[in-house]
Amino acid sequence: MVGTIDEFRANFIGGGARPNQFKVEIQSPAGISIGLDTRNATFLAKSAGLPGRTIGEIELNFRGRIIRVAGDSDFGDPWAVTFLNDTNFGLRNAMERWMNGINDLVTGKGVTTSSDYQADLRVHQLDRDDNVLKTYVFRNAWPTEIGAIELATESSDAVEEFEVSFRYQHFEASGVTPGISATVG
């Protein structure tokens, strides 16, 4: 059945979620002193993504036919956040300290207990009044890659940015996972 424009607008709740309305929360790991200003990290997050998920399938052969059943979940790629770089390099230094705490560039040593180098990270989808619509919590995350910052003489009207990729064990989502609410914190 084809509806009218007014019916569509009436059913398009809140005017739609906007991709530029989000908030990222990066927490410090318990066992590594990284000097992270979490408030600064929230403001310098230029882009992030809401996670995807795939449930694999298992093919079983039965009398000449293939029967498919659900397999295990896969979260795919690490969670990537692009940050703006300010002149004190505070956020970038914190991410480099975190990685160095896991595997020191000079000694090759680092913390080995996962609870010492992993932390829970969050991304909140906001409405236009900064109310939280949905929250994703990335459980037991740690940085796996800090992207390079390209320097170039012709880049006079730009601010440096870099990407950090975080691996996580699983994620939880408000409205889906019991106990996870769509609130900050």
CATH class of the domain comprising 16-173: mainly beta
Domains of the chain: which residue ranges?
16-173
Lowest mean pLDDT, pick from 29-38, 109-118, 163-172: 29-38
Q: Give the separation between CA 137 and CA 185, rounded to whole angstroms.
A: 10
Q: How far apart are the first and last CA of the chain?
A: 43
pLDDT (average), residues 108-135: 95
Return the pLDDT at 183.
62
Residue 1 banded pLDDT, cuts 50, 70, 90: low
Return the pLDDT at 44.
93
Return the pLDDT at 139.
96
Q: How far is CA 173 from CA 18, 38, 136, 147, in A?
A: 18, 21, 5, 27
Tokens 């790629």 found at = 77
DSSP codes of every residue in the chain:
----HHHHHHHSGGG---TT-EEEE-PPPTT------HHHHHHHEEE--PPP-EEEEEEEEETTEEEEEEEEEE--SPEEEEEE--TT-HHHHHHHHHHHHHS-TTT-----SHHHH-EEEEEEEE-TTS-EEEEEEEEEEEEEEE------TT--S---EEEEEEE-SEEEETTTSTT--SS--
Return the pLDDT at 160.
95
Return the pLDDT at 17.
83
pLDDT, tens digit, 9 for 90 and up, residues 9-26: 787 888 788 889 999 999
Considering Cα of 92, then 97, then 103, then 107, what sign does the dihedral take? Answer: positive
Q: What is the pTM of this model?
A: 0.86
pLDDT, tens digit, 9 for 90 and up, residues 44-102: 999 999 998 889 999 999 999 999 999 998 877 899 999 999 999 999 999 999 999 99
Report residue 118 as tokens: 């992993």
pLDDT (average), residues 157-183: 88
Residue 185 banded pLDDT, cuts 50, 70, 90: very low
